[in-house]
Amino acid sequence: MKIVILDGHGANPGDLSWEGFATLGELKIYPRTAASELIARAQGAEVLLTNKVFLLQPELEQLPELRYIGVLATGYNVVDIETCRQRQIAVTNIPGYSSHSVCQMTFALILGLTHQLLHHNRLVKDLSWSRSAEPCLIDRPLIELAGRTLGLIGFGQIAREVARVAQAFGMNVQVFTAHPENYRNDWPTIHFVSLEKLVASSDIISLHCPLNDQTQGLVDSRFLGQMKAGALLINTGRGLLVDEATVAKALHDGQLAGYAADVLGVEPPPEDHPLLSAPNALLTPHIAWGTVAARQRLITLALENLQAFAGGEVKNRIV
């Protein structure tokens, strides 16, 4: 079978191997594929692997040989699932491959805000510390995590890892999820609460819910207005979970104490993106998932998914 990897650079910029896929058929790898290049590159392929390249109805209708789409990520909003169902095109994803890495990044962002790491690093490098009369230069409040309340919106694999680490820090953890009954028995020390209570009573809120019609723009002016004074907001989910212009304004106004995100609504962001100039905004360029270990798991699981499909089995199958 003909296998085409449409945008392999993200998962494998050259430090890992696609060799296993070549054993299953004719393999073609593109580091990136623009929308204008998609049909020509995908023509005749039975298998497409994609991370960010959209495969929607207009494109799918032009690819009659296509039988399998492997999404090189957990979220699969880049694929028109209904059209694939109608066309009997199998779609798989990679759940859980980055849970440890994204959890680690979540706490990197939390610690970055609570210890004002970028600010204090600048004090060292601009020689403010060298010129200080004090041996310890602390000019902003620092926040201890022990005893603070962390609110998690969503309770998938990543959020559950975050909950474990938060409790190791001595934090109180509360969760809003659509189905708390699925978790209460296994998580007796976690408080499952309404969204309104979580927003109003958390010192730090971390977003771990999927992006869909119900969650897009979840963090709006009303949400921000209900948060505790001095509370922090963390986003390692999706940029469009928040109204970014409203978040930027809340940072400028001092309504929100800090926002840390590894994701933005448009990636890469335009140079005039409102969060780029907002105070107390700690932003990273969508790197949480990208550790070598996580990317290797992704490639391994993607290969196992395709091997299962070739053998007539179902593994991590969405459709």
For residue 264, give its domain range.
99-279
Do residues 123 and 232 both lie within one domain? yes
- Tell me, yes or no, whether 217 lies in a domain: yes
Task: Say if residue 127 is in the same domain as residue 258.
Answer: yes
In order of 8, 16, 18, 41, 99, the CA distances from 13 in angstroms are: 7, 8, 11, 19, 21
Cα dihedral sign, 262-268-274-279: positive
Residue 305 falls within a domain, yes or no? yes
238 is catalytic: yes
213-246 pLDDT, tens per residue?
999 999 999 999 999 999 999 999 999 999 999 9
- Quick check: 75 pLDDT over 90? no
Confirm whether 17 is domain-assigned.
yes
Strands 47-50 and 2-5: parallel
Annotated catalytic residue within 160, 238, 295, 297: 238
Give the strand pairing for 172-176 and 191-192.
parallel
Q: What percent of the chain has pLDDT over 70?
A: 100
**pLDDT at site 214:** 94
List the catalytic residue out of 115, 120, 252, 286: 286
Residue 26 is among the residues annotated as catalytic for this protein: no
**Within a domain: residue 166?**
yes
Task: Average the pLDDT over 199-212 and give the result.
Answer: 96
Predicted pLDDT of residue 45: 98
Instruction: Tell me what the mean pLDDT of segment 168-176 comes to.
Output: 98
**Residue 286 appears among annotated catalytic residues:** yes
The pLDDT value recorded for residue 77 is 87
**Tokens 């196992």, located at residue:** 304
Summarize the confidence of residues 156-160 as an average pLDDT. 96
Mean pLDDT, the chain, rounded, equals: 97
What pLDDT is stored for residue 129 in this prediction?
97
CATH number at residue 42: 3.40.50.720
Q: Which one, of 50, 82, 51, lies nearest residue 68 by Cα? A: 50
Residue 316 domain-assigned? no
In a domain, 285, yes or no: no
Structurally, the chain folds into a number of domains equal to 2
Question: What is the C-alpha to C-alpha distance for residues 221 and 256, in angstroms, rounded to an integer?
Answer: 11
Write out pLDDT tens, residues 246-301. Answer: 999 999 999 999 999 999 999 999 999 999 999 999 999 999 999 999 999 999 99
Q: What angle do CA 124, 126, 131 make, to 5 degrees?
A: 75
Give the pLDDT confidence score for residue 314 in this predicted structure. 82
Q: In this structure, are residues 225 and 106 in contact, taking their beta carbons and an 8 Å threshold?
A: no
Q: 61 and 167, same structural domain?
A: no
pLDDT digits (tens, 9 = 90+) for 5-46: 999 999 999 999 999 999 999 999 999 999 999 999 999 999
